[in-house]
Amino acid sequence: MDLMKEFHPIIDDAEDNSVVRCNMTSCEKCIGRSVSMCSALKDHEVKLLSDISMNISKRSKQVICAEGELAEYLYNVQSGCVRISKMLSDGRRQVIDFLFPGDYFGLVCNNGYNYSAETITDVNLCRMPRNAILEKIKEIPAFSKKILDITIHELLETQEQRLLLGRKSAKERLCTFLLTINARSSNGGHMKKNHIFLPMSRADIADYLGLTIETVSRQFTILAKDNIISLENSPLVRIIDIEELQLIASGG
Amino acid sequence: MDLMKEFHPIIDDAEDNSVVRCNMTSCEKCIGRSVSMCSALKDHEVKLLSDISMNISKRSKQVICAEGELAEYLYNVQSGCVRISKMLSDGRRQVIDFLFPGDYFGLVCNNGYNYSAETITDVNLCRMPRNAILEKIKEIPAFSKKILDITIHELLETQEQRLLLGRKSAKERLCTFLLTINARSSNGGHMKKNHIFLPMSRADIADYLGLTIETVSRQFTILAKDNIISLENSPLVRIIDIEELQLIASGG
DNA sequence: CGTGCATTTGACCACCTTCAATAAAGGTGG
DNA sequence: CCACCTTTATTGAAGGTGGTCAAATGCACG
């Protein structure tokens, strides 16, 4: 797990979890993000929001919030990787998404959270009270529009995923997954080109793609044997033939 | 197809499609709906909206809007059943949803419509210009909140569907489908209890559930043989044992 | 009554799952 | 630092679910 630390060296070793009040400095870093909802706010409004927001640090494999729990907070991932999942009553799990820096969660829920969120790596989060956000929606139309845009974007992605689960083969699913992660997790820019950092387990990927661990593993092996990817340095995957990957992903 | 007419006797036989300006009377009927976005509007605002909205009637099996097409309008289904679907590049189709009275479509899209909408039965629609709606979002916060609620609801349903496609067996999928339609399509109240009206084809259901026509048909037969449902009068399905149906749907 | 389309049913096969064994990686304590 | 144990990943063999292909049946409509 050396690579884990290498790519997520954010958290002070002194303590497992920390909660500190946000300051404008941390928010200003955050504002830079293109899809950030804060971009719809004036400086003094950001100040108001930052005053009631917290910077949260969590170690890997910890629960951030649980399905059904009263939804008090909205979160923004600042560093690391978070897993969002739902459970069927019989214990089967569906991983809804893997979140990377810039992604939100906790916005879309009916009273309680409708999914659980757990850290996969060490993670830094911005935690905002949902009440305050919902107030802002009523007050600031531009902010409201931004929230709607984020939700719409999430909806479009979920629809794509539905198509994947409904119609694609195991191989197509894995290729699509690799391309998606490649596009989304640039990991703050310090990833070598064509290298994908996969901090999640095979079980996580399987539950995301609607497959079993074994099938995922086999498909990885096949892709490596066909010289489309390389699995040499473990949590990293190197894409050798991205055109082929795209071809398979789109059903060719 | 007599039953089709019986349950959707709305359209004047004189013409295939009609387009007439909305009036307050038709809007007032519409306002009654609990999730209607118009409920967030004042009377005079509804008047403004109704002035630029149209009541559209379409016969069955007609295209309302096509994937990719410039998204000019937002629609509300007033009667009948509409199918929303997407295409994969290789021709595979994913049915996103079946819409019933009170449901919206055309709201969530990035520039062009991101799905096609076709009529399954004869249909009455309320057609509103998207521009005007997006203006209202900026002007009226309560309206904006309503639109967000509708989008969030759509997202939650899509996530449920993902779980279904990713983790459920053919039998579980069909049972879930029957229960969902049973809950949603009360068909204006003139359906006998425990009777589901299924105007869509087996192909539609298959593409909705991520299965083949044959598998859907087989599962229908099995459920009928097990005395869980009855298929005696064709587009209608009678639920005999709803507890069993729920048990199977939830993975028992 | 015949035509065309949707649905049902059957036979066979492929893909993915399940079950099981092995290998590799990580964590802990001496 | 290494031995031991636990967890995760890989690989193999067998089995089942659902897909594919094909034929038959049913149903609406001319």
Q: What distance lies between CA B130 and its chain's CA centroid? A: 19
pLDDT tens digits for range A141-157:
888 888 888 898 899 88
CA distance B246 to chain A (A): 12
Residue of B nearest to A139 (CA): B141
Question: What are the chain B neighbours of A251 within 8 Å (beta carbons)?
Answer: 88-90, 92
Contacts of B129 (CB under 8 A, 6+ apart): B52, B53, B72, B73, B74
pLDDT tens digits for range B71-117:
999 999 999 999 999 887 777 788 999 999 989 999 877 779 989 99
Q: Please state, in angstroms and rounded to a whole number, the distance separating the CA atoms of residues A197 and A121.
A: 11
Instruction: Provide the chain B residues 207-226 that lie in CB contact (below 8 A) with chain A.
Output: 207, 209-210
Model confidence band, residue B191 (pLDDT cutoffs 50, 70, 90):
low
Q: Calculate the angstrom distance between C1' of C13 and CA of A101.
A: 45
* Beta-carbon separation of A114 and B145 below 8 A: no
Strand stretches in chain B, DSSP E:
18-21, 54-58, 63-65, 73-79, 82-87, 93-99, 104-105, 116-119, 123-129, 195-197, 229-230, 236-239
Residue of A nearest to B250 (CA): A89
Residue of B nearest to A142 (CA): B138
Q: How many CB atoms lie within 10 A of CB A13?
A: 7
pLDDT tens digits for range A27-86:
666 644 545 777 777 888 888 888 889 999 999 999 999 999 999 999 999 999 999 999
Q: Which residues on adjacent β-strands are paired with residue B110?
A: B112
| Residue in the structure block whose two tokens are 């083969």 | A169
* Beta-carbon separation of B159 and A90 below 8 A: no
Q: Does A26 touch chain B (CB under 8 A)?
A: no
pLDDT in the model for residue A147:
87
Q: Does B156 touch chain A (CB under 8 A)?
A: yes
